[in-house]
């Protein structure tokens, strides 16, 4: 097997509590929700009101900017509550499920006859469209656009993250069917990124245009893969989809129904026997957390997503639309006496050899959420580049995003990056710079000013 592309700059963070390859099916929870925060920049226009009964796959709201982009109910049930925040902004829409499992049926033409327009219409109508995101900007794709290619990364290199090979194993047929469908909607290539160690996927995906990657995180980030295979130029766009969402699209075209299966790696140091759970998109978190054996006496943070890019959520929240991870970390809200002196606080790992933690760097460690310092001005240089495997100067780009100089942002390569590519910079920065937030704001500013 060829070595493929080797990513050199980056960092694989080794955290205790990686989920065992053991899958547990969670019964349909009595409550689900769509969280609007998951759909960045989408202004919802409601199609239902509280008390309405909806079928699985029935549209609940659509995007004001493009009414064809519909968001559908993951289950049959009753719209329980439309939760609003400041200025009546919709935050989440909760649905109470019932025994009934009737779904909206879609007419699917045979694979050979189906055309690009048909596929896009079906994806839009069925509520599968929001699974397709676009670069630049990392937002839900515009169905009117013609992307130069589609990228799917079949491995996640983030710490404690999901093993897609494991969760795709029993869905491989629907995954491959989904890929065949997606191949038809791009004039360019459907690029699939696989890790060199994924023997099963490497074998199964031989018929597809796959690219082999190896190296530390962020080699699994789709943005890094795009950068190395087919970088985005100004004016171009690339569509990206997460692997399990390809299965959902595959199932849609096989069964004619929206089947929102979601397999989650529930992991983290405070959990005994972490493992995988299969539920549906938007499931109430409590339905999973109840099945988990937490270690006693630890104040935990529940994260919807991985530990680098996820969002902190309360236990009464819901599984996010895009994530395959629920991560749990110990809250690090304790003081450390003289913890800043080199070689004193050796339990906290560092990319610098300023503690003895590097001696045991191959061992998984118990990370917590302490910042290990305070925010400071930019001082140290070179640390961002160490964890950023693109031909882009991350510190300069972050600074331009803070300033808001569009021309310089463009020249420095803003169109090729997404906030998640800066997650390791958040981690590694000695000045505790919030790079992901800064880049997200920069991208939003760009959207506001240019689109």
Partner 1 sequence: MNIRGIVDKMKAPFDKGQKLEKLYPAFNAFETFLFVPNHTSKTGAHIRDGIDLKRVMITVIIALLPALFYGIYNTGYQYLYQTGEEFTVLDAVIHGSYKILPMIAVSYIVGLGIEFAFAVFRGHQVNEGYLVTGLLIPMIMPVDIPLWMVAISVAFAVLIGKEAFGGTGMNILNPALTARAFAFFAYPTYMSGNQVWVSEASNVDGVSGETILGMLAAGGSTDQYSMMDMFIGSIPGSIAETSTLMVLIGAFILIYTGVGSWRIMVGSVIGAALTGMLFNLWGANELMSFDWYNHIIVGGFAFGVVFMATDPVSAAQTLKGKWIYGVLVGVFCILIRVFNPAYPEGVMLAILLMNVFAPTIDHYVIDASIKRREKRLNSKLKMA
Residues 107-166 interacting with partner 1 (rule: CB under 8 A): 159
Q: With binding defined as CB under 8 A, does residue 436 bind partner 1?
A: yes
Q: Tell me which stretch binds partner 1 (CB under 8 A): 24-32, 187-195, 318-326, 422-430.
A: 422-430
Q: Which of residues 216-255 bind partner 1 (CB under 8 A)?
A: 231, 233-234
Q: With binding defined as CB under 8 A, does residue 352 bind partner 1?
A: yes
Rank residues 245 and 426 by Cβ distance to partner 1 and give the closer one. 426
Q: Which of residues 13-52 bind partner 1 (CB under 8 A)?
A: 13, 15
Q: With binding defined as CB under 8 A, does residue 368 bind partner 1?
A: yes
Rank residues 112 and 407 by Cβ distance to partner 1 and give the closer one. 407
Q: Virtual CA dihedral for 347, 13, 325, 267, nearest 10 degrees?
A: -40
Pick one of 86, 207, 374, 449: the residue that binds partner 1 (CB under 8 A): 374
Decide if 76 contacts 98 (C-beta within 8 A).
Answer: yes
Half-sphere exposure of 53 (CA within 13 A, CB side): 7
Rank residues 296 and 381 by Cβ distance to partner 1 and give the closer one. 381
Which residue(s) pair with 132 in the sheet?
A: none
Rank residues 237 and 350 by Cβ distance to partner 1 and give the closer one. 350
CA distance 58 to 105: 10
68: buried, middle or exposed (CB in 10 Å: 19+, 13-18, 0-12)?
middle
Closest CA to 432 of 361, 357, 369: 369
Pick one of 349, 388, 401, 409: the residue that binds partner 1 (CB under 8 A): 349
Residue 25's φ and ψ, nearest 5 degrees, are -85, 130
- Kindly state the helix (H) or strand (E) to which residue 96 belongs, with its residue range: strand 90-97
Planar angle of CA 61, 64, 69, nearest 5 degrees: 60
Q: With binding defined as CB under 8 A, does residue 350 bind partner 1?
A: yes
Q: With binding defined as CB under 8 A, does residue 354 bind partner 1?
A: yes
Pick one of 103, 423, 443, 446: the residue that binds partner 1 (CB under 8 A): 423
Pick one of 303, 319, 409, 418: the residue that binds partner 1 (CB under 8 A): 303
- Render the burial of 152-177: b for 16+ CB within 10 Å, e for the rest: bbbbbbbbbbbbbbbbbeebbebbbb
Pick one of 35, 141, 355, 409: the residue that binds partner 1 (CB under 8 A): 355
Q: Tell me which stretch binds partner 1 (CB under 8 A): 25-33, 35-43, 251-259, 425-433.
A: 425-433
Pick one of 308, 319, 326, 443: the residue that binds partner 1 (CB under 8 A): 308
Q: Which of residues 325-344 bind partner 1 (CB under 8 A)?
A: 327, 329, 331-342
Least CB distance to partner 1 at residue 287 (A): 23
Decide if 180 contacts 350 (C-beta within 8 A).
Answer: no
CA distance 119 to 175: 16
Residue written as tokens 């409550």?
31
* Structure tokens, 351: 């990319």
In whole angstroms, how large is the CA radius of gyration of the chain?
A: 22
Q: With binding defined as CB under 8 A, does residue 360 bind partner 1?
A: no
Cis peptide before 136 (omega within 30 of 0): yes
Pick one of 254, 434, 444, 447: the residue that binds partner 1 (CB under 8 A): 434
Q: Tell me which stretch binds partner 1 (CB under 8 A): 89-97, 105-113, 361-369, 443-451.
A: 361-369
Q: Tell me which stretch binds partner 1 (CB under 8 A): 27-35, 45-53, 285-293, 375-383.
A: 375-383
Could you tell me how many residues of this chain bind partner 1 (CB under 8 A)? 75
Kindly report the number of other CB atoms within 10 A of residue 40's CB atom.
Answer: 16
Give the CA distances from residue 136 to residues 141, 385, 417, in Å, rounded to whole numbers and listed in that order. Answer: 10, 21, 7
Q: With binding defined as CB under 8 A, does residue 364 bind partner 1?
A: no
Least CB distance to partner 1 at residue 336 (A): 4
């Amino acid at each position: 097997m060829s070595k493929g592309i080797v990513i050199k700059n980056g960092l694989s963070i080794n955290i205790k509590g990686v989920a065992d390859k053991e899958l547990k099916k969670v019964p349909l929870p009595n409550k689900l929700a769509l969280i609007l925060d998951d759909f960045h920049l989408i202004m919802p226009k409601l199609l239902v009101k509280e008390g309405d009964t909806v079928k699985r796959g029935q549209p609940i709201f659509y995007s004001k900017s493009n009414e064809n982009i519909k968001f559908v109910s993951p289950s049959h049930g009753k719209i329980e509550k439309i939760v609003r925040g400041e200025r009546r902004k919709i935050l989440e829409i909760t649905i109470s499920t019932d025994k009934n499992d009737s779904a909206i049926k879609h007419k699917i033409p045979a694979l050979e006859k189906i055309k690009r327009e048909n596929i896009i219409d079906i994806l839009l109508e069925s509520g599968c469209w929001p699974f397709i995101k676009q670069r630049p900007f990392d937002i839900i794709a515009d169905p009117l656009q013609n992307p130069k290619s589609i990228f799917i990364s079949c491995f996640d290199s983030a710490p404690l993250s999901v093993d897609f090979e494991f969760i795709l194993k029993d869905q491989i047929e629907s995954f491959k069917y989904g890929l065949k469908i997606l191949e038809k909607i791009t004039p360019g290539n459907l690029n699939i990124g696989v890790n060199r160690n994924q023997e099963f996927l490497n074998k199964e995906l031989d018929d597809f245009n796959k690219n082999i990657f190896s190296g530390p995180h962020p080699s699994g980030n789709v943005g890094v893969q795009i950068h190395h295979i087919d970088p985005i130029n100004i004016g171009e766009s690339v569509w990206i989809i997460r692997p399990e969402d390809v299965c959902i699209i595959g199932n849609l075209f096989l069964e004619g129904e929206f089947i929102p299966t979601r397999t989650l790696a529930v992991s983290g140091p405070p959990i005994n026997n972490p493992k995988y759970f299969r539920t549906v998109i938007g499931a109430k978190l409590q339905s999973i957390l109840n099945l988990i054996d937490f270690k006693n006496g630890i104040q935990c943070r529940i994260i919807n997503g991985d530990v680098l890019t996820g969002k902190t959520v309360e236990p009464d929240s819901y599984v996010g639309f895009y994530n395959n991870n629920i991560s749990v970390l110990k809250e690090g809200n304790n003081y450390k006496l003289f913890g800043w002196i080199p070689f004193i606080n050796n339990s906290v790992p560092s990319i610098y050899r300023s503690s003895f933690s590097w001696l045991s760097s191959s061992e998984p460690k118990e990370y917590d959420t302490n910042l290990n310092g305070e925010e400071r001005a930019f001082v140290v240089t070179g640390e961002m580049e160490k964890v950023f495997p693109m031909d882009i100067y991350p510190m300069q780009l972050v600074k331009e995003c803070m300033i808001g100089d569009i021309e310089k942002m463009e020249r420095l390569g803003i169109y090729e990056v997404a906030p998640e590519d800066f997650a390791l910079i958040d981690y590694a920065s000695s000045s505790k710079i919030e790079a992901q937030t800064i880049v997200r704001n920069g991208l939003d500013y760009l959207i506001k000013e240019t689109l």
